[in-house]
Amino acid sequence: MAEQAETRCADRFRAIDKISEKNTERLLDAFRNARVSEACFAGTTGYGYDDLGRETLDRIYAELMGTESAIVRIGFVNGTHALTAALFALALPGQHLLSATGLPYDTLQEAIGIRGNAFGSLSSYGIGYDQIDLLPDGRINISALKTAAAKSGTAAVILQRSRGYTERKALSVDEIAEITETVKAINPDIAVMVDNCYGEFTDIREPGHVGVDLLAGSLIKNPGGGLAPAGGYIAGRSELVERAAMRLTTPGIGGECGASLGCNRLLFQGLFLAPHTTAQALKTAVFCAAMMEQLGIRSFPGVNDNRSDIIQTVCLGSEERMRRFCRGIQKGAPVDAFVTPEPWAMPGYDDPVIMAAGSFIQGSSIELSADGPIRPPYAVYMQGGLTYESGKLGILMAVEELLL
């Protein structure tokens, strides 16, 4: 069964390898342009003034993301933290944000103030929120976007590139370009921001290359290459990036401070590996799609579909089958393989979440993992795989659990 699945994946694997090669070429150019040297790997402490590595890495991310500026900091505790800092850079009290991809990812909802009453949310500062639901086929409702973006007080349109815990497909860079062009034609002063989590290096372009004003993501996903121990990044127009930096630290200091604490080497090396590591995760997802298809389990994207994130949605139909799938993925992990995943009340989620994540870096979803909320349609969202070989073995163990 596995051999047959791999045969079906061959053409898609070759396409993924070509993207990886092109992105590696872009990365090497960026490293050379920034004059990366051994001196960049020295860490700073305390205030972190004059951190050569931090400043060099900022320039590299800006080039790779197609933007004017970037900040890359281990001080971001997760992707949601980086995204929230970016959102605060976009709007003032009395203005509002417009989501063009429906409801944002669960953990961002409390940060915006859509649900809950978390102190310090955007809504508590008088920043409003509106959204446009996706069309039944998962596409952006361009007609509704034109109407909503024309409303007075709209400061920014926000896009979630990845699917999150939904059954929609990830946004391609071409789709992001179309949305950005549409918004700018209505009002060039409206900023467009992209939640870029899970999408980096799945294409040879990033959202910044097609006119997006601001984008953000997590270092323990694609761009960290499995080596970054923590952190996130924000890239975009210089003015907006500096505003976000002042939210991360404090007004007047912005990105001038922030010790790297000896992590620079890992951030540089992880980024160097990121195109290849992302390709390994994509291959793992494609193999998962082929195996699920052979088992008659609904799963998407399909084997030959183009991919704009590393996530594979597997619709299992029941909590018990979710548990079985996650148990198999956990058994295929290099860390905590002996642990049995159980649903629990994770911070930021309304429903119990089950998560298989035997990773070297806690919560690192560029490493093989599978998770999902215990709610209909009882889908597991599988992502990661530092090597295709280990990812494949993890999928096969998940299949074994499903066939018990």
Residue spans in the chain of domains classed CATH 3.40.640.10: 34-269
- pLDDT score of 163: 86
What is the average pLDDT across 267-291?
98
285, 310 in Cβ contact below 8 A?
yes
Residue type, 93: P
Instruction: For residue range 284-312, list pLDDT tens digits in order.
Output: 999 999 999 999 999 999 999 999 999 99
Phi and psi torsions of 83, nearest 5°: -65, -40
- Look at residue 349 in the predicted model and tell me its pLDDT: 79
Q: Is the pLDDT of residue 347 over 80?
A: no
Tokens of 326: 């996650």
Residue 232 vs residues 248, 342, 375: alpha-carbon distances, Å: 11, 28, 29
Separation between Cα atoms, residue 152 and residue 125, nearest integer Å: 18
pLDDT tens sequence across 198-251: 999 999 999 999 999 999 999 999 999 999 999 999 999 999 999 999 999 999
Q: What is the average pLDDT score of the chain?
A: 95
Pairing mode of beta strands 232-236, 191-195: unpaired
What pTM was estimated for this model as a whole?
0.96
Contact status, residue 190 vs residue 209, Cβ threshold 8 Å: no
Among 105, 109, 180, smallest CA distance to 140 is for 180
Q: Cα–Cα distance between 88 and 259 in angstroms, integer?
A: 23
> Could you report the per-residue pLDDT of 2-42, keeping only the tens digit for each?
899 999 999 999 999 999 999 999 999 999 999 999 999 99
| 8-state DSSP, 124 | G
Give the sign of the dihedral formed by CA 253, CA 259, CA 264, CA 270. negative
Residues in the chain: 404
**CATH class of the region 2-20+271-403:** alpha beta
**Cα(100)–Cα(378) distance, integer angstroms:** 25
Of the chain, the percentage scoring pLDDT greater than 70 comes to: 100
Where does the chain hold its CATH 3.90.1150.60 domain(s)? Answer: 2-20+271-403
CATH topology assigned to domain 34-269:
Aspartate Aminotransferase; domain 2 (3.40.640)
CA of 109: how far to CAs of 40, 123, 130, in Å? Answer: 37, 11, 12
